[in-house]
Amino acid sequence: MSDALSTAAAHLDGLPEAEVEAALTRCCGASRWVAAMLARRPFGDGPRLLDAAEQAWAALERADILEAFDHHPRIGANLDALRDKFRATANWSASEQSTVAAADEATLVRLRDGNLAYEARFGYIFIVCATGKSAAQMLTLLEQRLTHDPAQELAIAAAEQAKITRLRLEKLAP
């Protein structure tokens, strides 16, 4: 268990509910997940925070999972937007996906096209825990996942969202 999760738990326990709600929404945009987390306060420590997050996530239905996905920025509207998205910024998504900033133009084009194809096929954006992955690695994952059946892919994307949520919970530590 990371020290960051324990620090985050203590931080969340000390905040007013409205601030906790806003912080949790930054971690995962599914409103039922946020409500379940608020109901589990106080967290006390990192293991209890993580356990609460995992239990709340496991209880979600398809619509809730898709709501969480909708809180991620869309990739693929155009190449300029894709280039801008992956420049270093202060937001978490940018830092999580920072390795794409070094991508060559051909890789960016394939990422854009792959993201558009993914959304057309599955009806939601491509979700991947991008931390530590290069643009080429993410492109490979995207292209592989385009071959999945919809139920299999939703389960994979949901597992990726859960990883992202955990990383974001750790970032709540002051």
Distance, CA of 100 to CA of 134 (rounded, Å)? 6
Tell me: the pLDDT tens digits for 84-108? Answer: 544 432 344 444 444 455 578 888 8
Is there a contact between 169 and 8 (Cβ–Cβ < 8 Å)?
A: yes
Using CA atoms, how far residue 121 sits from 32, 51, 72, in Å, is 26, 33, 18
List CB contacts of 6: < 8 A, sequence separation 6 or more: 45, 46, 49
pLDDT band of residue 77 (cuts 50, 70, 90) is: low
List CB contacts of 174: < 8 A, sequence separation 6 or more: 7, 11
Other CB atoms within a 10 A radius of the CB of residue 136 amount to: 16
Per-residue pLDDT, averaged over 79-88, amounts to: 51
Q: What percent of the chain has pLDDT over 90?
A: 69
pLDDT at 81 (0 to 100): 57
Asked if 148 is an active-site residue, the reply is no
Instruction: Tell me if the bond preceding 42 is cis, omega within 30° of 0.
Output: yes
Cα-to-chain-centroid distance, residue 146: 19
Greater model confidence, 135 or 41 = 41
Tell me: the pLDDT tens digits for 41-74? Answer: 999 999 999 999 999 999 999 999 999 999 887 7
Give the domains, in start order, of the chain with CATH numbers. 3-69 (no CATH), 73-166 (1.10.3330.10)
Is there a contact between 111 and 82 (Cβ–Cβ < 8 Å)?
A: yes
Distance, CA of 57 to CA of 162 (rounded, Å)? 7
pLDDT at 80 (0 to 100): 65
Per-residue pLDDT, averaged over 126-148, amounts to: 92
Cα dihedral 132, 8, 31, 93 sign:
negative
Catalytic-labelled residue, pool 11, 71, 72, 148: 72
